[in-house]
Structures are given as structure tokens and as C-alpha cells.
Homo-oligomer: A and B are copies of this chain.
């Protein structure tokens, strides 16, 4: 499907055609550090605070005037809390405003003053975290990754634990470690076993030597529930979703391996998790629904979905850029995989997370877990590509890697197609200054 045409020039390959309209938090050249909501359109960003204050929403009568203050907030939480019908109304209205044949040319198309103030070239804006994250939970729904990692951490015969196909396994993450794309990633130090073979129980405190990525989808919630209540599958679990981002759950494999039994990962994960800046709404992804991977286990009813196409077919890719001697870099695309490689959908994760009465909140972030396919070239972590650090990964420019070195940059992209994508989720590795 070709995205609707706009009076604004939008590059053909842009993730941000009129078919998308994701939301984010920006500061601009003119906002003097004051954060506000924005949307990307092609290579431009619309400052929704300035747009709103310039009567940009005057033709959207269903959005009450007092509700428009949500766009002046430093996070999207208040906007998210208005609920999916309102998100969709605003998205559709903005599509109309930017459409070539807009019914409201006076709003922006022919309003040179507002265009100048509100519609900025992307490089005149900077993104911030889109949401204030109350709690962050990371699942493990990428069954191919779970199998591969389980094989390496334990053994292939016991790679998946018996609970794996019965419930979406997950753990509580660290909200304070979630950062926006572009934030430097500082190599953590921690307890690691330098010689696992000969000294399997004598750790050393040292910088991580097995710094890894995890290719994930993130999901922000737009509904809050009280303790003791739940969000039900096929009912309110799906409508509790605000939207999606790309997520790199950076992992220190050597720290994680020693610390994680029996209560799960802590310092192996809590030094940084990077997300892409724009929250893509479910309505923008609706054309890209895909079936989950088959689960032969008979599910309990609180996890049974009416339909199987509750994940999305988005092409996720991972670029690894290695610094070269000239100050440039050699980039290799090390992974290209569909985001549909999940055994569990986000509505199932939400239904499970809240099934025991856990309070969920607007702004909560859920991670899918690492997404890998079954083939080489479809793996979502270096752990899998290097077979647990045993094998070099061949890269462009005669480079080799098992895990990340200082100066390496990793960039995730996600393209659903037809002008709908996620932009970049990127981070560069830095040595800790305390080492």
C-alpha cells in the first residue's frame, strides 16, 4: 500500500510517512530545553506544543481544549492515558492536516507562520525518553533465542524449562536504566569468572568482557490498574497498549552468568537498556499483523487469544559499526529478522503479568525478549552468533568480534514497510572512566 501523499516532501524510504505518525518527546532549537511532544514526518518533526498553541488542533473538536495541554508535558504519559481512541483520533487528524488534499489547508499547509515555528528540520530537534517509566519488565518470548541461550547457558536437552511453553517467562527490569537512542553505553564492571574452567567459583571484579546486545521490541502501556485487578486477554489487554519501540537490552554475559542463579539477572542487565525515540501506535502497525510461532502446548484460558495474528511482521536489522583508523567506521549488517518470531504476543504478556493482581501503570515498559530467527543471519544476540564467545563473527573490513569492544556502535532499525518504521535505536560503547 502506498502511503497517502503529503504536501510536505517525504523521502520515499522514510520510516515516517503519513501512514505512520508515531509520538515522541523532543526539545527543539527554540524550546530552550523545555520538553514537549512531537511527531516525525519524513525528515521533519512537528512540535505539537507549538502546533497546539497555534490552534493546530482547532478542527479536532473531539479533543477538548483542556486535553491539548498533554502535548506540553515533558513525557507522553498524560497523552497515553487518554486511551487508544484518542490516540487514533489525533493520528488521523494529523494525517489529514499533512495530506496533499487536506480539508484544512489553513491549519498548516498554507499557514507559513505556524509552519516556520512548529515544523522543524529533524536536525533542529533532539529526542528524550518518551515516557516516564514506572516499572519495566523484560519477557523472554523469543523462543528461538531462548532455545539458543538455554543451550549455551545450560545444555540443548534442557534449553527450555518446562514452564516455557505454558507462560510468558519474564523478570522485573530496572526502569532507571532505560535510556534514549544515542545515549553512550558505558561498559559495566562486575563480578566475572576469568577462568571458568579452573576457578569456577572465584570471581574477579573487572570490566565486562562479554558485552552483548539483545534485539527486542518494547511496548508501552496506556492503562493503569489497581492492585488485585487484571487486564484480560481478548478484552482489555490489547487496548492497554500505547505503542511500540525498538529496544536493545544490553547484556553483560559474564556478569549475568555468575550472578543469575537463583533469582535472575541483576547487574548483568541494569547498566543500560536503549529504546528508539518514537512510539509507534498499534493502529499504524495494524496492516502488518502476523501469526505468532506455533505453541503446541494447550494454553490456560487466561492466555488464549481469539486470533493468532497478534504479533507483527516488522523487519528488524542490526548494524555493527567498528571504528577504523581514519576515525570512520566499517558497518556490517549482522542480523535481519522478522519481529514475528515470538511464542507469546504482548497482549498475552500483559494478561499474564497482571493475572495475579499486579498493578500496571501508564508508562510501564514491557520488553519482548530477544528476537532471533532459526537461520544464521537472523540472530538477535552476539551470544548466539559467537556460540557463547567461542567463535569469531566475521565482519566487513577484515574485522572480527565475539562480543563488543569499546568504540563499537550498534544500531537497530525496524521497517514494517509502506512508510512505517521505527527510526534508529543506537548506542556506542565507552570504557568506564573508573577503570
Contacts and interface: CB of A to CB of B under 8 A. Distances in A.
A264 interface: yes
A356 interface: yes
B177 A270 contact: no
Contact of A174 (B172, B200, B261): B172
Interface stretch (A62-70, A161-169, A396-404): A161-169
Given A189-B356, A358-B271, A230 B434 contact: yes
A415 to B, nearest CB: 29
Contacts of A182: none
A7 interface: no
B172 A172 contact: yes
Contacts of A134: 175-176
A361 interface: yes
Interface stretch (A47-55, A252-260, A418-426): A252-260
Nearest to A149: B262
Given A264-B264, A355-B190, A356-B252, A175 B135 contact: yes
A227 interface: yes
A145 interface: no
A13 interface: no
B188 A356 contact: yes
Interface string A344-355: 000000001101
Contacts of A301: 205
Contacts of A161: 261-262
A263 interface: yes
Interface string A260-279: 11111111101110000000
A266 B153 CA distance: 21
A268 B171 CA distance: 11
For A170, A230, A261, A266, the residue with the greatest tally of chain B CB atoms inside 10 Å of its CB is A266
Nearest to A301: B205
A270 to B, nearest CB: 4
Contacts of A30: none
30 contacts: A134-B176, A137-B174, A150-B262, A154-B262, A161-B261, A163-B191, A163-B201, A163-B203, A163-B261, A166-B191, A166-B203, A169-B262, A171-B172, A172-B172, A172-B270, A176-B227, A176-B358, A177-B227, A188-B356, A190-B355, A191-B300, A204-B300, A205-B300, A205-B302, A227-B272, A229-B434, A260-B262, A267-B356, A270-B356, A271-B356
Given A163-B259, A171-B264, A205-B301, 18 more contacts: A135-B176, A137-B174, A153-B262, A154-B262, A162-B201, A171-B266, A172-B264, A176-B359, A186-B227, A188-B357, A190-B355, A190-B356, A203-B300, A228-B433, A230-B434, A262-B264, A267-B356, A271-B357
- The 10 residue pairs across chains A and B that have the minimum distance between CB atoms: A264-B264, A188-B356, A186-B228, A171-B263, A270-B358, A162-B201, A172-B172, A267-B356, A176-B359, A263-B264
